[in-house]
Amino acid sequence: MKPIRWIFIVSMVGVVISLGVVAYTMFFGPDKVLIEGRSLQELIASGDIMPVLVILISLLVVGFSMRPFLRIMFPPTIKNGVNGEARVLKVWDTGVSINDNPQVGLLLELTPPGGAPVQVEAKSVVSRLSAANVQPGVVAEVYYDPADLKRLQVKSFQVSEEPPGDIESRLEKLDRLREKGLISLVEYERKREEILKEI
């Protein structure tokens, strides 16, 4: 996820610089809007309040629209969190991809030490090559808040690989992933070569 973080940061810096240039031109350029010494009623009457409102509204829209992406790329840390395991009950596609890897929605069953099982929803980005293995019944390694079990982050999945001798079914699954466009040609050829080396 590191490349997309840099893209996001550069994009945000570009937006802020663009708004800064517009604001500088409006308030310090040759056709600047004079605000100092004027009341709000005078600004409204003259129409000079509009550029100020446009900049403020633009900043608010950009801030709110980027909030979901910020939460995906920079998930909030869980203070006093502990490591544990949760069983996957349900998996669904969220329609979001990060670095061409899908983000999936998960319904997990978490059983804290000495407590009753709790069902928790979470989201996690998984590799395209292992996405087919993330299914109900798989165990996920999680990091959660003991005081609020619904605050949880998925660290990894304990996926069971197919037995090495089952080369044919592994190649068939790889072909299906390639046909559906879930993996690139380079990834397909690399993984196919790895499987064939086991023969």
Residue-wise pLDDT for 63-76, tens only, equals 777 776 666 666 66
Mean pLDDT of the chain: 78
Range of the domain at 182: 167-196
What average pLDDT does range 91-102 have in this prediction? 83
Residues 151 and 178 in one domain: no
**CATH value at residue 152:** 2.40.50
Convert the pLDDT of each residue in 123-172 to its tens digit: 888 888 777 788 888 899 998 888 887 888 888 888 655 444 477 888 88
Lowest mean pLDDT among 37-41, 56-60, 115-119, 143-147: 37-41
Residues 149 and 96 in one domain: yes
Lowest mean pLDDT among 35-44, 71-80, 84-93, 143-152: 71-80
Residues 87 and 151 in one domain: yes
On the question of pLDDT at 34 being above 70, the answer is: no
How far apart (Å, rounded) are the C-alpha atoms in residues 8 and 20? Answer: 18
146 or 34, higher pLDDT? 146
Q: What total number of domains does the chain contain?
A: 3
On the question of pLDDT at 25 being above 60, the answer is: yes
Q: What is the 3-state secondary structure (H, E, C) of 36-88?
A: CCCCHHHHHHHCCHHHHHHHHHHHHHHHHHHHHHHHHHCCCCCCCCEEEEEEE
